[in-house]
Amino acid sequence: MSASRASAATNIRDFPNGSGAAAVLAAGIGAFLSALFALLADKLAAVKSLMVFYKPTGPLSGVTTCAILLWLIAWLVLDRRWRPRTVAMGRVRAAAIILLVLGVLLTFPPIADVF
Amino acid sequence: MEITTRSLWTLIHGMGFGALYLMACSGALVELYRRYASPLKPAVEIADERFLRAYLIAMAVLAWFTVLTGAYIVYPWYRAAAPPGATNLAAFPQRLLLASPSTSAWHSIGMEWKEHVAWIVPISITMAAAVVARYGRNLRVQPELRSAVLAFVWISLLCAGVAGFFGAMIDKNAPVEGGATIHIAQGEHR
């Protein structure tokens, strides 16, 4: 192993987790919003017609575009606030995973049909 | 031997981007778990760190290509409305599936789930790639952040698996066909 590689391999810094926490929570928000918009478009005719951004793809185009835009905005905002800080990662992880799992469950039609 | 352009795009979407993503997932999980699991394990070298970063970025690109080709190229052909009174529904896969009680659930459960759950994949893996790109080997001393990234990659594998399974089964029951025919090779006469 060269000197530079050895040096790099051991050079672990403990810098703030804020930026990572922002990315994780925003991904949870994005996953949940994508399911929520799909549910709203399925249940409400007004939302369904509003979500048709590209006619051949139908409401899926608006549902996914809105969810992705809001995910990116949430990521940007959280990153700007948390980047220099160390946040309670355990709570952020729990919130993000709950949002992610809710997102997966709400996209499953038999569960979505309960609402 | 020939293939239609719509079949070719379905192949590119499912077997090209989607299947490649599914295969890549196991590599990412092993790498994230094995190399970054504990600060007590042998140190992560720069070359390994660069490799994982590039690997996850490539996975994110694959995931985005999969959902974008699916939603904006293949899905419009799948959901095309049949003209009133049409009896041959071969060119209208969604209508073909809904026309029979034995196949309608492939659309009402399979496609309805697949078309939405698949979008969780690029969101999850883009986040994982961004976190690994930013933290690199420092992820070893951020166990909660690392485990969150691992959880998202696991769920992305699950979501991609659901989308891939239903995509394959729907294509088996009502394939997306049509468009120009591409001749690949000429067979021998017997």
Q: Chain A residues with CB inside 8 Å of B148's CB?
A: 20, 24, 89, 92-93, 96-97
Strand-pair partners of B2: B183
User: Predicted confidence band at B161 (pLDDT cuts at 50, 70, 90)?
Assistant: very high
Rounded-to-integer distance, Cα A111 and Cα B34, Å: 36
A10, B43 contact by CB (below 8 A): yes
Interchain CB contact of A65 with B (< 8 Å): no
Residue B45 pLDDT grade (very low, low, confident, very high; cuts 50, 70, 90): confident
What is the rounded average pLDDT of the residues B26-41?
Answer: 81
Which residues of chain B make contact with A17, given a CB cutoff of 8 A? 142, 144-145
| pLDDT, position A11 | 54
User: What is the per-residue pLDDT for A47?
Assistant: 97
* For range B76-95, the mean pLDDT: 92
Interchain contact, A89 vs B144, CB within 8 Å: yes
Nearest CA distance, A41 vs chain B (angstrom):
12
pLDDT in tens, B141-152: 899 999 999 999
Q: What pLDDT was estimated at residue A7?
A: 41
DSSP class of residue B18? I
| A24·B127 Cβ contact <8 A | yes
Q: Quick one: average pLDDT of B156-183?
A: 95
Query: How high is the ipTM of this complex?
Result: 0.91
| Averaged pLDDT, A39-44 | 96
Over residues A84-114, the pLDDT tens digits come to 999 999 999 999 999 999 999 999 999 999 9
Any idea which residue has 């095309």 for tokens? B80
Of the ranges A49-53, A99-103, B38-42, B73-77, which one carries the lowest mean pLDDT score? Answer: B38-42
Residue whose structure tokens are 């050895």: A6
Q: Which residues of A touch B43 (CB under 8 A)?
A: 9-10, 12
In this prediction the pTM is 0.92
CA distances from B119 to A86, A113, B63, B150 (A): 30, 20, 9, 18
Q: What is the mean pLDDT of residues A32-43?
A: 97
Q: What's the confidence (pLDDT) of residue A3? A: 43
Q: Which two tokens stand for residue B64?
A: 């985005």
Contact check, Cβ <8 Å, A19/B108 = no
d(CA B128, CA B27): 14
Cα B29 to chain centroid distance, Å, stands at: 16
Q: Is B80 left (phi over 0), alpha (psi -120 to 50) or beta?
A: beta
Give the residue from chain A lying closest to B45, CA to CA. Answer: A9
What is the residue extent of each domain of chain B? 2-80+90-178
pLDDT for residue A74: 98
Query: d(Cα A111, Cα B31) in Å, to the nearest integer?
Result: 34
Residue B182, phi-psi category: left (phi > 0), alpha (psi -120 to 50), beta (remainder): beta
- Residue A25 in contact with residue A19, Cβ under 8 Å? no
Mean pLDDT, chain B, whole residue set: 93
Instruction: Choose among B13, B175, B10: nearest CA to B91.
Output: B175
The angle subtended at Cα A32 by Cα B18 and Cα A30, nearest 5°, is 70
What is the pLDDT, as a whole number, of residue A8? 44
Tokens of A69: 């835009």
pLDDT more than 70, % of chain A = 88
Residue B8: is its pLDDT beyond 90? yes
Which whole number is the average pLDDT over A49-62?
97
